Amino acid sequence: MANRMVVVARCAPKNHIPKKRIASAAVLPKVWRVRIISKISAMRRLGLQWRRAGRPVAFVPTMGYLHRGHLSLMRRARRVAGARGRVVVSVYVNPTQFGPGEDFSRYPRDRTRDQRLCREAGVDVFFAPSDAEMYPPDFSASAQEERLSAGMEGRSRPGHFRGVTTIVAKLFNIVSPTAAVFGAKDFQQAAVVRRMARDLNFPVRIVVAPTVREAGGLAMSSRNKYLTPAQRRQAGVLWRAIQHAKTAVARHPVPAARLKAAARRMVAAQSEARLDYVEFFDPETLKPVKTAAPGTRMALAVYVGGTRLIDNGEL
């Protein structure tokens, strides 16, 4: 049975935010309950119950170690769900989207803090399933998107998107959301998930929210925790490279090869950084373009020390 984290047990009201207050978690009622669910059956029951009652359900899938980027998705989910709606956040470090030698085992985890942040954000359900239930030993099915996932992250991390689409498909089936919110920080992931939802007829609207950044432009990421202060400064090069390309194309279209060379130089100038890939592509098809212009999307992956960081932006 789902256990509950009750902040102040006395007179706890139902989770309801008056319409005009939906946009801000800062005005939550003093007493807020977030339901903590780990069992798939309990989550499924609740999701279906809400569906039958005609309640909008906005879902934010995450791998936890929550930061302001995740919190912005929760706020967006609250707006998408509306006054009668419910917000579900899942925290699950999905093993099948990590390749061999990647950081699955050391990926940062802090369940207690994540639960607190979800409570403060006015989330209705914190869903954290177990590995044993998500992947029984004889698990043998998957969902795969085969076009948008071919390049960039898909090429660099074989099997990654198959893991992503499989876990997202499973979570959609368990939670039964009417909408799901993803971050533009993982632009290709959002495109792949949207295509999967369309092609496999999941009745869920995919919403993409903007990337939240630190003061110097570094995109917030749970993996930023791995960076030393010096590496963190160098990691700003991803954002700077995007800004450089953006400025260049604002004047006139520029061959992608020239912009790639510039990005390569900028990354090489950082002692601890190593470029994995940089790409300029059409934001709909994700196909690489030969000439970049305003509206073209740029994405890059860079190792800073041992940490692999990604970022992207519209030029």
User: Exposure of 297 by Cβ count < 10 A (0-12 exposed, 13-18 middle, 19+ buried)?
Assistant: buried
Report the alpha-carbon distance of residue 125 to residue 59 in Å, rounded: 9
Residues of this chain that bind ligand AMP (CB under 6 A): 62-63, 69-70, 72-73, 182-183, 185-186, 209, 211-212, 219-222
Specify whether the CB–CB gap between 36 and 128 falls below 8 A. Answer: yes
User: Exposure of 171 by Cβ count < 10 A (0-12 exposed, 13-18 middle, 19+ buried)?
Assistant: buried
- Min dist CB 130 to ligand AMP, Å, is 18
- Min dist CB 11 to ligand AMP, Å, is 34
- Min dist CB 255 to ligand AMP, Å, is 30
- From the candidates 70, 160, 244, 252, give the one annotated as an active-site residue: 70
For residue 215, give every residue at least 6 positions away whose Cβ sits within 8 Å of its Cβ, in sequence order, or none: none
Query: Is the CA virtual torsion 259, 260, 265, 266 positive or negative?
Result: positive
Report the alpha-carbon distance of residue 60 to residue 183 in Å, rounded: 10
- Cα atoms in the Cβ-side hemisphere of radius 13 Å centred on 27: 9
Nearer to ligand AMP, 34 or 219 (CB): 219
Nearer to ligand AMP, 33 or 59 (CB): 59
Instruction: Look up tokens 């994405």; give the residue.
Output: 299
- Min dist CB 93 to ligand AMP, Å, is 9
Nearer to ligand AMP, 186 or 279 (CB): 186
Residue 140 amino acid letter: S
Using alpha carbons, select from 55, 53, 60 the residue that is nearest to residue 91.
60
- Min dist CB 61 to ligand AMP, Å, is 6
Q: Is 19 helix (H, G, I), strand (E, B) or coil?
A: helix
Paired tokens of 11: 């007179």
For residue 186, give every residue at least 6 positions away whose Cβ sits within 8 Å of its Cβ, in sequence order, or none: 310
Nearer to ligand AMP, 259 or 286 (CB): 286
Q: Is 179 helix (H, G, I), strand (E, B) or coil?
A: strand
- Min dist CB 67 to ligand AMP, Å, is 7
Nearer to ligand AMP, 63 or 117 (CB): 63
Nearer to ligand AMP, 73 or 227 (CB): 73
Residue 245 amino acid letter: A
Cα 305 to chain center, whole Å?
A: 23
67 classed as catalytic: no
Report the alpha-carbon distance of residue 275 to residue 262 in Å, rounded: 12
**Residues with catalytic function:** 70
